Amino acid sequence: MSDTNKFDQIKDWYVSNFTRFESKLNGQSETFLHDIRKESLTKFKELHFPTIKDEEWKYTNVAPLLKDNFQLPQYLGKTVIDEKFIYNNSFTDFDYDRIVFVNGKYSPEHSIIGELPKGAVISSLESAIKNYPELVREYIGKHTKVDNAFVAMNLTYSTDGLFVYLPKGQMLERPLQVFFVSGSDEDKVLSIPRSLIIAEEGSAAKLIVNYVGTGSNSYFTNTLTEIHTGANSNIDYIKLQDEKKNSFHIDHTFVYQDKGNIFNHYSFAFGAALSRTDVSSVLDNENIECHYYGIYLGTDKQHIDHHTFVDHAKPNCMSNEVYKGILDDQSRGVFNGQIMVRPDAQKTNAYQSNKTILLSDKANIDTKPQLEIFANDVKCSHGATIGKLDQEAYFYIRSRGVEDKIAQSMLIHAFAADVIEAVNIEPMRDQLNHKLFEKLNRVEI
Amino acid sequence: MIKIKNLHASVEGNEILRGIDLEINAGEVHAIMGPNGSGKSTLANVLAGHEGFEVTEGEVIFEGKKLLDMAPEERARDGVFLAFQYPIEIPGISNATFLKTAINEIRKAHDQEEISAKEFLERTRKYAKLLNMPDNLISRSVNSGFSGGEKKKNEIFQMLMLNPKLALLDETDSGLDIDALKIVSEGVNHFRSKENAVLLVTHYQRLLNYIVPDFVHVLSNGKIIKSGGKELAFELEEKGYDWIKNEELETA
Ligand SMILES: Nc1ncnc2c1ncn2[C@@H]1O[C@H](COP(=O)(O)OP(=O)(O)OP(=O)(O)O)[C@@H](O)[C@H]1O
Ligand SMILES: [Mg+2]
């Protein structure tokens, strides 16, 4: 049987769950979201899970994640987590607010949200639909692109997720730490959050979004996020994907950037057996800055895929992308960086760099820049390098009396440093560095 | 201190060192001169343990131990130091982290306590001052963004901090302006003692006015073709290398 047929069979199973799912929706089936849901179901039926014959999924075979039937959390008992678990996974040494979701569902008992600036909202999407229906209706789905079955699946089955609203000119004083905790001892669970972030003109916020796992079974996080940034707003979105190594992670993040907005996206992809992160930005006005940073780590047989898409639609904007990979054992990385410069987008500056070091002969990376430039007055550059640790630098360090393992760690630290130092929350840098070495199972430098 | 016997080394099948014999005792300074590509850096790198070179013949005894059997870090811990002809940049690792790690690794190998923050700071201040280096040197990343001359100075700074027994200085004078050359020479002279030794590779007799060698050797095509006192350097400056090569041909 071909992959397409096998994949369709499992898709049919996911689709067939809908009737039972719908009957358990209670209140939500009466909201406008449910109409969107039904449209998405139709698309979900039409679309296929991607196979390696799809250009966009050429290097990522999702067969391992379609082998199991992941159960919607609604059918399972509640996953209980304790405060210590959250604390141990938190970035610390600075003030922050915290919102926690367990298997995609808001968990008020673990969330701590202090006083917010006037009119600002941090809540679950589910309650935002009730409390701010007009706001949600105006923005939700506005820029999502439903072009594969994972996206449609999220839009069909998600019932909750993060909601952030920043009114004009308001600034979150403290970073917000978000937790998406997934997993269950009872069964293999499908965690399917959908998030919506609306930052109006002149607002600012820093978000730290942690994906972590619990429980003994493998699970599948299929997450989708929409970020709407208003004129001259300033948003940092720092994602740490630290899922359990027996689990799966698919993330689609859609960003809309308005005039003068500065948006920083950070992807720290440290966990999961197989992960795929798609981030895209539409730069739909002038004087916008879009920065994408990433570090992906692989050990054992981890597979880590990033697809980025920066869409320059208007003139005088800049985008800058720095992705770095450290791959050990038999791990495999994929990086595909698409940059589109539309005919209108004169005076665009677009830079992209993807560097990967392979710590083992069996590790592997497929990297591909994809530049489509339709304007003539632009500055674009891209570069990809793949290599081992620099042997001359390695010798240099050892020649000072430093043992081989520590010398390697120094070079790894040096390699990752510029991305880690780009994080604007200072205390996070050491903690990210610590996690990085912990994941790679190497001496920390 | 070190005895090099009939050392042969090659890279990718090409023999570069073709039988080097050299003995250096504690308290001595030896200068090695010779044309480009003659193997000077190769000799220094082989002694420091660079794995890109294959030793095909010969033996090196350093302080009673077989040096060639040791890993680069083991050699460093026993007191070998190489100032690189082309120092390496390590962005994101501060000089402080780099040197503290190195000093403590060396101390650990000798069952000594880690260096205290106070002592470390005192030594960095002292040597940075001696070499006229900026105060923020220690918090800056290793060589990254340093000028060519600053990198060379930083090698001497590291040497002073690590205080080795045998310092191999590979063209540390190249790329230095007159003032920097004097300062670096002062650094080396400050380091010199009865207990340690220096092997310095240079193209310029000028350096040897500041760091006066006990012996000068001429390396050509992988062999030491002439050795002498410091006068040899003057002769070389005057007559060039061909003079010795011709002399060698005549005696052959
Ligand atoms: N890694 C290498 N691969 C191939 N050839 C090499 C390598 N390293 C050195 N060589 C060759 O070995 C020879 C000696 O090089 P070496 O660097 O030791 O010369 P040198 O005497 O230090 O020269 P210079 O005065 O220019 O610094 C040269 O011909 C050089 O091209
Ligand atoms: Mg040389």
Kindly state the average pLDDT of the residues A349-375: 97
Ligand 1 near B16 CB (within 6 A): yes
Between CA A186 and CA A123 the distance in angstroms is 28
Which of B162, B214, B152 lies closest to B185, judged by CA?
Answer: B152
Name residues whose C-beta falls within 8 Å of residue B249's C-beta, 6 or more positions apart in sequence. none
- Band of the pLDDT at A24, cuts 50, 70, 90? confident
- Band of the pLDDT at B238, cuts 50, 70, 90? confident
- How far is the centre of ligand 1, averaged over its atoms, from the C-alpha of B61 (Å)? 24
| Percent share of chain A, pLDDT over 90 | 94
Which ligand is in closest contact with the Cα of B45? 1
Asked whether the beta carbons of residue B93 and residue A406 sit closer than 8 angstroms, the reply is no
pLDDT in tens, B107-123: 999 999 999 999 999 99
Ligand 1 near B41 CB (within 6 A): yes
Question: Chain A residues within 8 A (CB-CB) of chain B?
Answer: 390-393, 395-404, 406-407, 410-411, 413-418, 421, 445
- How far is the centre of ligand 2, averaged over its atoms, from the C-alpha of A407 (Å)? 24
Question: Chain B residues within 8 A (CB-CB) of chain A?
Answer: 48-52, 71-73, 75-77, 81-82, 84, 87-88, 90-93, 97-99, 101-103, 105-106, 109, 141, 158, 162
* Amino acid A418: pLDDT: 95
Ligand 1 near B33 CB (within 6 A): no
Mean of per-residue pLDDT scores for chain A: 96
Between CA A76 and CA A287 the distance in angstroms is 48
Name residues whose C-beta falls within 8 Å of residue A377's C-beta, 6 or more positions apart in sequence. A346, A347
- Band of the pLDDT at A31, cuts 50, 70, 90? confident
Kindly state the average pLDDT of the residues B84-102: 96
Atom 5, ligand 1: residue with shortest CA distance: B11
pLDDT in tens, A393-410: 999 999 999 999 999 999
Q: Looking at residue A26, what DSSP letter applies? A: G
- Band of the pLDDT at B57, cuts 50, 70, 90? very high
Atom 11, ligand 1: residue with shortest CA distance: B37
Q: Does the pLDDT value for residue A1 go beyond 70?
A: no
Dihedral (C-alpha) B177, B180, B184, B185: value to the nearest 10 degrees? 70
Cβ-Cβ contacts under 8 Å, A326 against chain B: none
pLDDT in tens, A157-213: 999 999 999 999 999 999 999 999 999 999 999 999 999 999 999 999 999 999 999
Q: Does the pLDDT value for residue B252 go beyond 60?
A: no
* Amino acid B250: pLDDT: 63
* Amino acid A179: pLDDT: 98
Ligand 1 near B13 CB (within 6 A): no
* Backbone Cα Rg of chain A: 21
Residue A358 distance to chain B (closest CA, Å): 18
Name residues whose C-beta falls within 8 Å of residue A12's C-beta, 6 or more positions apart in sequence. none
Question: What atom in ligand 1 is closest to the CA of residue B44?
Answer: 18
- Band of the pLDDT at A436, cuts 50, 70, 90? very high
Cβ-Cβ contacts under 8 Å, B70 against chain A: none
Between CA A290 and CA A143 the distance in angstroms is 17
Q: Does the pLDDT value for residue A355 go beyond 60?
A: yes
Asked whether A195 and A165 are in contact (CB, 8 A), the reply is no
* Amino acid B52: pLDDT: 95
Nearest CB partner across the interface for B105, out of A392, A402, A415: A402
* Amino acid A334: pLDDT: 98
* Amino acid B248: pLDDT: 67
Kindly state the average pLDDT of the residues A89-117: 97
Ligand 1 near B12 CB (within 6 A): yes
* Amino acid B205: pLDDT: 87
Beta strand segments in A299-419, E: 303-312, 318-327, 332-341, 348-358, 364-373, 378-387
Which amino acid would we find at residue A270? F
Between CA A53 and CA A56 the distance in angstroms is 9
- Band of the pLDDT at A2, cuts 50, 70, 90? confident
pLDDT in tens, B159-182: 999 999 999 999 999 989 999 999
Ligand 1 near B37 CB (within 6 A): yes
* Amino acid B243: pLDDT: 81
- Band of the pLDDT at A114, cuts 50, 70, 90? very high
Ligand 1 near B221 CB (within 6 A): no
Q: Does the pLDDT value for residue B192 go beyond 60?
A: yes
Nearest CB partner across the interface for A401, out of B88, B93, B105: B105
Cβ-Cβ contacts under 8 Å, A415 against chain B: 92
Number of domains chain B contains: 1
Q: How many C-beta atoms surround the C-beta of residue B142 within 10 A?
A: 27
Q: Does the pLDDT value for residue B246 go beyond 60?
A: yes
Query: What domain range includes position B83?
Result: 2-251
Atom 22, ligand 1: residue with shortest CA distance: B41
Q: Which two tokens stand for residue A394?
A: 């390695």
Cβ-Cβ contacts under 8 Å, A397 against chain B: 90, 98
Name residues whose C-beta falls within 8 Å of residue A397's C-beta, 6 or more positions apart in sequence. A406, A407, A410, A411, B90, B98
* Amino acid B249: pLDDT: 63
Cβ-Cβ contacts under 8 Å, A355 against chain B: none
Q: Which two tokens stand for residue B223?
A: 């062999």
Kindly state the average pLDDT of the residues B135-153: 92
* Amino acid B218: pLDDT: 95
